[in-house]
Amino acid sequence: MTAVYGYRYGMQGVRGQILCARHHLNSLEDSSLEECKRAIEEEPWLSDYYEIGETYIRSRDGNIWYTFAGLNSNLGSIKSKGRILVCWVDEAEPVTETAFTTLGPTLREEGEDWNAELWLTWNRRRRTAAVERYAHSRDPLIKIVELNWRDNPKFPDRLERERQRDLAERPEQYAHIWEGDYEEFREGAYYTKQLLEAKEQRRIGRLAPDPLMKKRLFCDIGGTGRNADAFAIWVAQFVGMEIRALDYYESVGQPLATHVEWMRANGYEPKDAQIWLPHDGANNDKVFSVSHESALRSIGYDVTVIPNQGKGAALQRIEAARRVFPRVWFDEQKTQAGREALAEYHEKRDEARRIGLGPEHNWASHGADAFGLMAVVASNYTGETWGAALNYPTLGLK
């Protein structure tokens, strides 16, 4: 379709470029160049119009040319590109909010009865992805078309066999791979089994907090700046032996004041909330000489810092989470993003040596670490007292 649009523009005497972009693009081998070549070569009238070389596609009349770019590293150069008629972003799921903000003003070309267009193609994965928010905005000029295997008149028998096999053998992945649903469970994730059981046992639904009990906020500390780690919070109440996960919060690059504002806006005031921080919550900021612990205490919060668990702390949190998971109930709406992080959290693998290298550090790590902190604390809770279950007095549990 980019070639068809280029043909239409070129035949009208309009000059400009078709920009084909992806999030990651280190070389032309990572681009859509070969796909575009094959599509053009399959249509004689298009192959007559376009000249195709090893590293380029351009119209024979000189009106239309293709360019290829990566959005994670070449945003500056995209800003300076002119005469973009169509920008097609393929595999757009990981594209950032910053990239979309930059692309909008870049597509400024317009003429009689036409204007530059942005096309996005992606497979659904995360509800919180920037492309989902961008595409589902209320802009009346945005159109969404859903295409699937059913819409392919040439759907091959080989793929049909694969589809049927996945339906039978990988039901937890089938809806995402074949039906276009969001990815609920990443293959090889640490908590796939536990999340499936929570769903089957109907432990994901509407939860109402107990007004007489404190809310416990379990945090993983992030930083400020565009490339900082996320600050994540799981909000829970421990009712008897049940762990009721009531809410989830995550923010990237924001100061502590922003997180506190969210707490207060959602009713997690110092009088009825207790905050749990990982060991680095007691560390002072290099510039302001204040820690998260001291800052939160100064505004009235009851704060507990969990001591450093030492070597293998991440795996200890994973094991603690697996132990307590059967006791966890989730608010379906408010913990959606947190459950997505748990579903994504997985082991980094060295495929050559077939060994695990510990948890993969990515966007999901922070929500999973905060959940693991909650599990460590919950492992020491007997329903009446703290610290007795594992005889771990150094946690300072209250």
At 225 the pLDDT is 55
pLDDT tens-digit readout, 95-120: 888 888 888 888 877 877 788 899 99
Burial of 294 (0-12, 13-18, 19+ CB in 10 A): middle
204-395 is a CATH 3.30.420.240 domain: yes
d(CA 242, CA 328): 6
pLDDT confidence band for 398 (50 / 70 / 90): very low
pLDDT confidence band for 156 (50 / 70 / 90): very high
d(CA 382, CA 268): 24
Cα dist from 114 to 67, 117, 121, 313, whole Å: 21, 9, 21, 58
Stretch among 88-92, 249-253, 263-267, 282-286 having the lowest mean pLDDT: 282-286
Query: Which carries the bigger pLDDT value, residue 177 or residue 356?
Result: 177
Task: For the chain, give the mean pLDDT.
Answer: 86
d(CA 60, CA 56): 12
Question: Would you say the C-alpha torsion 290, 292, 294, 297 has a positive or negative sign?
Answer: positive
For the segment(s) 2-145, the CATH number from 3.40.50.300, 3.40.109.10, 3.40.190.10, 3.30.43.10 is 3.40.50.300
Cα dist from 356 to 227, 349, 353, whole Å: 26, 5, 9
d(CA 55, CA 57): 7
Instruction: Name the token pair of 249.
Output: 């919060």
Question: Would you say the C-alpha torsion 161, 188, 246, 293 has a positive or negative sign?
Answer: negative
pLDDT tens-digit readout, 210-262: 998 999 999 999 766 555 678 999 999 999 889 999 999 999 888 899 999 99
Q: Tell me which range, 178-192, 198-212, 342-356, 372-386, is most confidently predicted by mean pLDDT.
A: 198-212
d(CA 100, CA 122): 14
d(CA 368, CA 321): 9
d(CA 259, CA 333): 20
Taking CA 60 as the corner, what is the angle to CA 59 and CA 62, rounded to the nearest 5 degrees?
70
d(CA 142, CA 135): 7
Stretch among 68-77, 133-142, 263-272, 323-332 having the lowest mean pLDDT: 68-77
- As a whole-number percent, the residues of the chain with pLDDT over 90 amount to 52
At 386 the pLDDT is 43
Q: Note whether 84 and 106 are within 8 A (CB).
A: yes
pLDDT tens-digit readout, 19-64: 999 988 878 888 899 999 999 999 999 999 999 999 999 999 999 9
At 189 the pLDDT is 84
Is it the case that residue 352 has pLDDT exceeding 90? no
Is it the case that residue 269 has pLDDT exceeding 90? yes
Q: Can you give the pTM of this predicted structure?
A: 0.61
Is it the case that residue 199 has pLDDT exceeding 60? yes
What are the domain boundaries of the chain?
A: 2-145, 204-395
Cα dist from 369 to 63, 77, 362, whole Å: 54, 37, 11
CA atoms within 13 A on the CB side of 292: 26
DSSP for residue 173: H
Residue type, 258: T
